[in-house]
Structure 1
Amino acid sequence: MFIDPDDGQPYLPTPAFFLGGVDIYDREETLGEALEKLDPNDPANREEIILKYCLPTRKSYRHKFLIYKSLEKALQDEKYDFQSLLAYDPEAYSSFPCGWDEMENTRVFFEDIFRLATVEWKEDLQKASLEDQATW
């Protein structure tokens, strides 16, 4: 099991990781306004959102590999509820742009994340796949 060097805890990512870059909580006037101009239901806008906000990360190649694999596993589950990841929670310190909780097809959004991560993270994924993950 991979132990996150930042906090010493087991690293168990979920597909929700990819939403961190579009969380506008306390950034409504900056990030929120930028994202309001983009429609996640439009394929071209969706790709821009993913490339600009969902995929950039300072995480290591091992982190990226585990994040990618968590998304791959979720996409293989036909019943995985991607919509729930965008649901408004008044108790949480996070929020998404107006209307995102009503995205037409959240599965397609995450399928596009997976497709683009396969390309954008190719070298990191390759590097991690060549290692024995049991030794992490």
Structure 2
Amino acid sequence: MMLRDPFVDEEFEPDLMWFIGAFNVYDREETRGIELEVYDPNDKSDRAELIKGYSLNLGCLSYRHKLLLVEALAEKLSEEDYDFQALFDIDEREAASWPRGEWYELDDPREFLQDVYSWAQEIWRDDLLKAKLEDRATW
């Protein structure tokens, strides 16, 4: 058995884009873009609101998916040379855009994802514990 992706019939890959994809406003500039442009992702207080309201608001994911995502994030955070800015880089050929200029060059993209990790530990605590207590072979 293996954990399936909630949208396609494939094995779930715990990609860190799950945590920042909610900020992609491409083709939603008039809705999500306006909603998000009031936040500065470099401001600690704004960032907490963004993370709690968007990054971790993944209702489509089960507690098992959440555990795998948090573990993948912990692994990347443990790598001193992991390029977190690359997550925010958008190729001009991609159908993607961020709500404000700051998103393209965050002051500290590692810190942003570190905050995601910290908030996930708190907000998803029960889900993470439930998943940790299970035998993954049954997933």
Matched letter for residue 75 of structure 2? K
Q: Of residues 110, 113, 123 in structure 1, which corresponds to 2:116?
A: 113
Q: Of residues 122, 126, 136 in structure 2, which corresponds to 1:133?
A: 136
- Separation in 1 of the partners of 2:38 and 2:50? 10
- For each residue in 1:9-50, what CA deviation from the matched residue of structure 2 results, as whole angstroms up to 9, or x when unmatched? 111112111012111111111111121111111100000010
- Separation in 1 of the partners of 2:31 and 2:7? 28
Q: How many residues align?
A: 136
Cα contact 1:3–1:9 (8 A) shared by 2 = yes
Deviation at 1:4, TM superposition (A): 3.1
Structure 1: which 5+ runs fail to align? none
Normalization by structure 1: what TM-score? Answer: 0.93
Matched letter for residue 17 of structure 2? A
Matched letter for residue 45 of structure 2? A
Determine the structure 2 residue equivalent to 1:97: 99
Identity %: 43
* Correspondence 1:36-47 to 2 at 5 A: 36-47=37-48
Normalization by structure 2: what TM-score? Answer: 0.91
Determine the structure 1 residue equivalent to 2:34: 33
Determine the structure 2 residue equivalent to 1:54: 55
Determine the structure 1 residue equivalent to 2:72: 70
Matched letter for residue 46 of structure 2? N
More moved, 31-40 vs 109-118: 31-40
RMSD over aligned CA atoms reads 1.3
- Separation in 1 of the partners of 2:90 and 2:4? 30
Determine the structure 1 residue equivalent to 2:14: 13
- Separation in 2 of the partners of 1:94 and 1:55? 20
Cα contact 1:64–1:125 (8 A) shared by 2 = yes
